[in-house]
């Protein structure tokens, strides 16, 4: 019997291939037809857009107002021409970058170790990492201020002498509730034990396994944790103000309190908001490309 013909009541080879390539249960949809969203969904979307974009649009219009009574973008140029604003921005970005790296270096190995070796400590670790939310930042800043005022000279020069060393450890602790849960969610989404066992059986060290096996599979979660840390560092004012550090948010507040700098403060706030939005967009773009490249390699 040939491969293309079947016996009585049988299925030929060509018919079998056609059955596999075009399954009968595949749903068909007419071209050119698109389901309309429900009216209540459109209404909620419009109300949410007005609620969020309305104040931003009003602030943007106010930030364009100049001293001569006309509208322009001269207020946005203050971030380049103003020496204090530029230095405070560089300081905040430096703190944000260092804090984001430290957070990932601390949280990712801890989450992997707890998931593999001590899963019973998960609840304890979640309770510890939630404490920075329970304790108000004002209380933390007051305690640090007392420590700064009564600490020995060597500790002040080592820790409190510069905003980078004084604020980075504090921001790392404050970011723990968000970064821990972001990374823990990413680790839960993968088969961690299988990946680690396969890597270790091939002779890789723990450091190599963490960097070259675990980290690429939770890259989206790690980028999300870093983004949350950067957003926190660029928006925190209370602790930096009480500890007398001049960061970019503190400088924005000081400019806004001056008699002729309200428009400049609003303009720089809009610029920082745009920067955070672009950071979030780039995070989504990188995560999307990562998922696409991973699917291609699997095929």
Three-class SS of 78-147:
HHHHCHHHHHHHHHHHHHHHHHHHHHHHHHHHHHHHHHHHCHHHHHHHHHHHCHHHHCCHHHHHHHHHHH
**Percentage, residues of the chain above pLDDT 90:** 23
Q: How far is CA 155 from the centre of its chain?
A: 32
Q: How high is the pLDDT of residue 298? A: 36
* Residue 229: CB atoms within 10 Å: 28
Total domain count, the chain: 1
Which residue has 């060509």 as its token pair?
14
Distance CA 77, CA 211 (A): 41
Residue 185, in any domain of the structure: yes
Average pLDDT along the chain: 80
Residue 9, in any domain of the structure: no
Residue 144, in any domain of the structure: yes
Q: In terms of residue numbers, what domain contains 188?
A: 85-288
Do residues 128 and 135 make contact, with C-beta atoms less than 8 angstroms apart?
A: no
Residue 66, in any domain of the structure: no
17 versus 75: the higher-pLDDT residue is 75
- Tens of pLDDT along 129-185? 888 888 888 888 888 888 888 888 888 888 888 889 989 999 999 999 999 999 999
**Largest Cα–Cα distance of the chain, in whole Å?**
97
Do residues 166 and 241 make contact, with C-beta atoms less than 8 angstroms apart?
A: no
The residue-averaged pLDDT of 186-211 equals 91
Residue 109, in any domain of the structure: yes
Residue 116, in any domain of the structure: yes
Instruction: Give the predicted TM-score (pTM) of the model.
Output: 0.73
Distance CA 180, CA 221 (A): 10
Distance CA 261, CA 11 (A): 82
pLDDT at 76 over 50: yes
Residue 242, in any domain of the structure: yes
Distance CA 295, CA 299 (A): 6
Q: How high is the pLDDT of residue 1? A: 43
44 versus 19: the higher-pLDDT residue is 44
> Environment class of residue 89 by beta-carbon count within 10 Å: exposed (0-12), middle (13-18) or buried (19+)?
buried
The CATH number of residue 164's host domain is: 1.10.3720.10
Q: How far apart are the first and last CA of the chain?
A: 35
Distance CA 266, CA 56 (A): 10
Q: How high is the pLDDT of residue 293? A: 55
Best mean pLDDT range from 115-129, 146-160, 275-289: 115-129
Residue 51, in any domain of the structure: no
């Amino acid at each position: 019997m040939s491969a293309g013909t079947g016996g009585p009541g049988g299925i030929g080879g060509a018919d079998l291939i056609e059955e596999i390539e075009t399954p009968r249960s595949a749903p068909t949809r007419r071209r050119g037809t698109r389901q309309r969203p429900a009216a209540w969904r459109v209404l909620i979307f419009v109300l949410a857009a007005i609620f969020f974009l309305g104040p931003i649009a009003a602030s943007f219009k106010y930030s364009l107002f100049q001293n001569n009574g006309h509208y322009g973008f001269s207020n946005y140029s203050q971030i380049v021409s103003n020496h204090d604003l530029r230095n405070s921005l560089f300081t905040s970005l430096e703190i944000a970058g260092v804090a984001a790296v430290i957070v990932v270096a601390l949280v990712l190995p801890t989450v992997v170790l707890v998931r593999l070796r001590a899963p019973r400590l998960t609840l304890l670790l979640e309770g510890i990492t939630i404490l920075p939310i329970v304790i108000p930042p004002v209380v933390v800043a007051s305690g640090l201020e007392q420590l700064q005022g009564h600490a020995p000279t060597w500790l002040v020069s080592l820790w409190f002498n510069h905003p980078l060393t004084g604020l980075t450890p504090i921001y790392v602790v404050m970011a723990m509730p968000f970064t821990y849960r972001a990374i823990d969610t990413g680790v839960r989404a993968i088969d961690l034990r299988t990946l680690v066992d396969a890597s270790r059986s091939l002779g890789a060290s723990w450091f190599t396994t963490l960097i070259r096996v675990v980290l690429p599979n939770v890259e989206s979660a790690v980028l999300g944790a870093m983004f949350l840390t950067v957003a926190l560092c660029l928006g925190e004012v209370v602790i930096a103000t009480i500890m007398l550090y001049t960061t970019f948010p503190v400088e924005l507040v000081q400019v806004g309190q001056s008699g002729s700098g309200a428009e400049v403060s609003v303009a720089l706030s809009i610029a920082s908001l745009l920067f955070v939005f672009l950071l979030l967009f780039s995070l989504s773009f990188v995560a999307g490309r990562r998922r696409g490249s991973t699917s291609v390699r699997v095929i």
